[in-house]
Amino acid sequence: MQRGRPKWLHFNRMIPNILTLTAICAGMTAIRFAFLDRWEHAILALLVAAILDALDGRIARVLKGSSKFGAELDSLSDFICFGVAPAFVLYLWAMVGAGRFGWMLALLFSVCCALRLARFNTMMEDVDQPAWTRNFFSGVPSPAAAGLVVLPMILSFQIGDGYFRSPATVSVFMVTVAVLMVSPIPTFSFKRIKVPHKLVLPTMLIVGLLTAALISAPWITLAAILFCYIATIPLSIRKYRKHKADDKAKETPAE
């Protein structure tokens, strides 16, 4: 006899999906702020979406609320918040003057984000991959890509529009980040970071200082975080190749 669906669902199990829905609202709100020319608010809305995206999966695992429904909802949220919203914001901020070419680049970015998410979902089902591959993404993940593509806007808040708001500059960023999303370049997955007990307090101190910096000087801090992320890409490539070489050495029989 087949069991039916439970009549009740504990509220704790709904929290991750509620966070995901809130992230979608933040991403859509970023688009609204862009239509109103409130650019700083648009970036802050994208930041809220990124924070919620980072939290929902972790909270789902802690509360044992992970589900297929939640995973699909999370993918949809990522596409709206980090594929559609940044493209819209940048198009309205700098690319309207570029006409059809500007809109074409906005579409390119969104399409690459969709392809990247589809590939990620497919790779998650591959159980034949070595365990260490879970520490890496293939290509730049969509939340990081959204941050990198709006970097010219973030810098313009601190330095001025002059150079950063030109369609040429924004075009380079949109094309480069779009390619990075669908590329096979390995990037670190920070979802599985484990902090040793002796480093818990220093880690909390660093997070507190980072939060204070975001409140006091948000644009400089965000730009610094994004530049640090860019600096990790060569390190991730090197680490990935080392793991691959070690696996190959293990498979090669000794003479």
pLDDT score, position 48: 95
Residues, the chain: 255
Cα(190)–Cα(98) distance, integer angstroms: 37
Identify the residue whose tokens are 């593509």.
149
Rounded to two decimals, the pTM is 0.89
pLDDT at 1 over 80: no
Q: Where are the alpha helices (DSSP H) in 80-141?
A: 85-90, 100-124
pLDDT band at 224 (very low <50, low <70, confident <90, very high): very high
pLDDT at 210 over 50: yes
Evaluated on CA atoms 186, 79, 177, 192, the torsion sign reads: negative
Q: Where are the alpha helices (DSSP H) in 36-141?
A: 39-62, 68-79, 85-90, 100-124
pLDDT score, position 156: 95
**Which CATH topology does 13-247 take?**
Four Helix Bundle (Hemerythrin (Met), subunit A) (1.20.120)
Chain center to CA of 85: 13
Residue-wise pLDDT tens digits, 47-93 = 999 999 988 877 877 776 677 888 888 999 999 999 999 999 999 99
Cα(100)–Cα(22) distance, integer angstroms: 32
Cα(15)–Cα(143) distance, integer angstroms: 21
Residue-wise pLDDT tens digits, 149-183 = 999 999 999 998 888 999 999 999 999 999 999 99
pLDDT at 187 over 60: yes
Q: Kindly state the average pLDDT of the residues 205-213.
A: 91
**Residue 138: which H helix or E strand, with range?**
strand 136-138
Residue-wise pLDDT tens digits, 113-143 = 999 999 988 877 666 777 788 888 999 999 9
Helix axis angle, 39-62 to 142-149, nearest 10°: 160
Residue 35's CB is within 10 A of a number of other CB atoms, namely 11
- Smallest CA-to-CA distance from 20 within 63, 43, 52 is with 52
